[in-house]
Structure 1
Amino acid sequence: MAKPRVAVLFGGQNSEHSVSLLGAGSVLAAIDHERYDVIPIGIDREGRWVLAAEKQRFEVEGSTWPAVEGSGTEVALPTAGLVAFEPGQVPVQLGAVDVVFPVMHGAFAEDGTVQGLLELAGVRYVGSGVLASAVGMDKAFMKTVMAAAGLPIGGYVVVTDRAWRLERERVLADVDALGWPVFVKPARAGSSQGISAARDRDELETAVEFARTHDPKVLVEAAIVGREIECAVVESPADEPPLASAPGEIHVEDGHDFFDFEAKYEPGKMDVTVPADIPADVAEQLRTMAVLAFEALGCEGLTRVDFFYTPDGRLVFNEINTMPGFTSLSVAPQLLAHSGISYPQLVERLIQLALNRRVGLR
């Protein structure tokens, strides 16, 4: 019998392009190539889908981050709509793909756009669907859903493009009411891109303009004093409840005010303590809340749910990530490894979940 065909999709047109490749390299190394016919497909920064070159880089070399090489053979996913090609180009017939593994982060990738394309094409894929992906990517709507589900969240102000241009004084007054300092984030970006702290109005304006270079919609959050504790949640087969990992605590090297991009991806800048040194009842409460977040959003596959654990013993929901960093050393895989699911087992589990998922509404 023919082996199932798995297309590993990576890259994309956003600031997390290179981060995606790091995860894709780990996935491609972990997939059982004896069991699956694996097709690596990259999306370059101009939006071209190409077969990955044989010598595609998936690692950081010195100060050079990897990128999809757009000179490769272009491919097209069959869809219900039209597919156009530049003059002289010929579609490459790869045959049917059984499942797509989108190791992609950020806008036009993790935010429901790729998922919607795959839904239209009738192709199964790893991870959450359109709605969960879109809401999970938009931190403002994410908080609305989580608050409605009963999860405790911190204070925040949503700054739309129109409000910032036309109602700035009202926005500044709303942020004043949060108290200082605040953290300013693009509403729809990941990997801590575009985030900065502000201690007064002048710093706030600078921080908002910086965040707006990534997204015209910005979130301003009240600072929460507490330890950052994270939990991975993975879908279970056979209608069993989702599995929550042991919680882990993020420790960032001195000199970082928060878990920023440098701390996340430069070697030696952070580490994770698993299990987190918190009381057993708090750990169990956190795991329950992580599963609640997973189900409130209607997630599938894998998520990472982040909380703050405050000095007075409260857990405060921070955010959920529907396609967390996915190298073998990323936080979610580390948490699950401690809970008995190795990285190759996680990759296999996600592929099998996708293969056994029906297409269309579910």
Structure 2
Amino acid sequence: MPKLRVGVLFGGRSGEHEVSLLSAASVLKAIDRKKYEVIPIGITKGGHWVTSSHAERLLSGEAAPSTLRAGDPAATAPAAVLARGESVIVPPVPAKNKTGSLVPFETQGNPAHHALNLDVVFPVLHGTFGEDGTIQGLFELAGIAYVGSGVLGSATGMDKDVMKRLFASAKLPITKHVTFLRNEWVKSPKKIVTRVEAALKYPVFVKPANLGSSVGISKAHDRKELSPAIELAASFDRKIVIEQGVGGKRGKARELEVAVLGNDSPSASVVGEVVPIKEFYDYEAKYLSEGSDLIIPARLTRQQTKQVQQMAIEAFKACDCSGLARVDFLLDPGKSARIYLNEINTLPGFTSISMYPKLWAASGVAYPDLIDRLIQLALERQTEKDRTSYSR
């Protein structure tokens, strides 16, 4: 029986490019080569697709990116190697005889410029252009199976404003928040500050609506810190979300996380807790600094655990997700101990020491088995989509 051809796609144009390299290194190291024919596919920061040979070089060196410590650094080479690869101008197409809406065009000359025939794509892309529905749209047009949520689930899971609207519609508890556009801030900054202070109490969290790995997020304790925080968030997205800090002066909220796996009938992992070394679990705490603790399972009552797991599944369904997602929560440190749904991440960090794989390992699903399960879920979802008629 021929092996399934699996394309592992990594890199990308987002601010989470380096994190993607680390996740891909772990996947390529753990995936069962006896079961799958693995095709590494890299995307440079400039948006160029590179050949598998160049992509493999990125992940087979001995040196790690000097600024990151997470994942499998011994298996990750400098990102500069990726930038030197050759551009691939034809997207992946199904290996079997299927016809998608995206028909590859012919190229001449360089043999590296050809379509990659694949059975399934495993996108290990984080952030903009990777988990926001854009690359998923390409796979849909090509008619190829891929790991993770579809266009809608990816887009809603990426946009923190739309995500919160869906959570509210599903009657899931969320924190108070204010959303506005970058142009509104540029035109009337004083008006925005007044609006924020009328709706929320300090401290507040200022976030770009569309980004992950805590890139561009700041905690503002007062008006003096608010404007610089908004400027930072606005440099990463046209839409800014400001959230009420949970706990306030009573103390920091407890940060809980749950991994969800499945398609139409998803299941939830054990609950984990992050105790960041910094004031909150920002990019530096996640990838640059030692000392943050990951507690698995989280120290919760049985009732709290069940509540968080059920909310995670409801959030997954509310955003029309599939395959995988990590759902994050905030537990009020006060007497109420109220649990708030913070956000959903449809393509979470996937290094062997990232929270998503660790939560499933603690739930009895080892890292290589998790990769297998995600590939099977991608194929199952494609089979279900193939039942749909697109013409009369």
Name the TM-score, length of structure 2 as normaliser.
0.86
Kept in 2: contact 1:333–1:343 (CA 8 A): yes
> Paired residue for 1:264?
286
> Paired residue for 2:256?
229
Distance 2:329 2:205 in 1: 15
> Paired residue for 1:19?
19
Kept in 1: contact 2:103–2:142 (CA 8 A): no
Answer yes or no: is 1:60 the counterpart of 2:64.
yes
Counterpart code for 1:60: A
Distance 2:280 2:116 in 1: 46
Answer yes or no: is 1:47 the counterpart of 2:47.
yes
Kept in 2: contact 1:119–1:360 (CA 8 A): no
Q: Secondary structure at the match of 1:102?
A: strand
Name the TM-score, length of structure 1 as normaliser.
0.92
Answer yes or no: is 1:295 the counterpart of 2:308.
no
Q: Secondary structure at the match of 2:58?
A: coil
Any stretches of 5+ residues in structure 1 without a counterpart?
A: none
Distance 2:362 2:104 in 1: 45
Pick closer, same or farther for the CA change 1:63–1:166 going to 2, 3 Å: closer
Distance 2:148 2:374 in 1: 7
Pick closer, same or farther for the CA change 1:70–1:88 going to 2, 3 Å: farther
Pick closer, same or farther for the CA change 1:203–1:83 going to 2, 3 Å: farther
Instruction: Give the drift of 1:202.
Output: 2.8
Answer yes or no: is 1:347 the counterpart of 2:371.
yes
Q: Secondary structure at the match of 2:275?
A: strand
Q: Which moved more, 1:35-44 or 1:177-186?
A: 177-186
State the number of aligned residues. 357
> Paired residue for 1:7?
7
- 1:257-276 deviations in whole A, cap 9, x for unaligned? 11011111136332211110
Pick closer, same or farther for the CA change 1:46–1:152 going to 2, 3 Å: same
> Aligned ranges for residues 68-83 of structure 1 at < 5 Å?
69-75=82-88, 76-77=90-91, 78=93, 80=101
Answer yes or no: is 1:277 the counterpart of 2:279.
no
Kept in 2: contact 1:21–1:66 (CA 8 A): no
Q: Secondary structure at the match of 1:146?
A: helix
Give 1:118's match in structure 2, choosing from 136, 139, 157: 139
Identity fraction in percent: 47
Pick closer, same or farther for the CA change 1:61–1:288 going to 2, 3 Å: same
Kept in 1: contact 2:51–2:112 (CA 8 A): no
Any stretches of 5+ residues in structure 2 without a counterpart?
A: 69-76, 94-99, 248-252
Pick closer, same or farther for the CA change 1:203–1:267 going to 2, 3 Å: closer
- 1:249-297 deviations in whole A, cap 9, x for unaligned? 10112xx111011111136332211110011101101101000001111
| RMSD between aligned residues | 2.2
> Aligned ranges for residues 175-186 of structure 1 at < 5 Å?
175-177=196-198, 178-186=200-208
Q: Secondary structure at the match of 2:216?
A: coil
Answer yes or no: is 1:28 the counterpart of 2:51.
no
Q: Secondary structure at the match of 2:130?
A: coil
Kept in 2: contact 1:251–1:270 (CA 8 A): yes
Instruction: Give the drift of 1:361.
Output: 8.5
Kept in 2: contact 1:262–1:269 (CA 8 A): no
Kept in 2: contact 1:18–1:66 (CA 8 A): no
Distance 1:81 1:125 in 2: 15
> Paired residue for 2:250?
none
Distance 2:160 2:256 in 1: 18
Q: Secondary structure at the match of 2:83?
A: coil
Q: Secondary structure at the match of 1:356?
A: helix
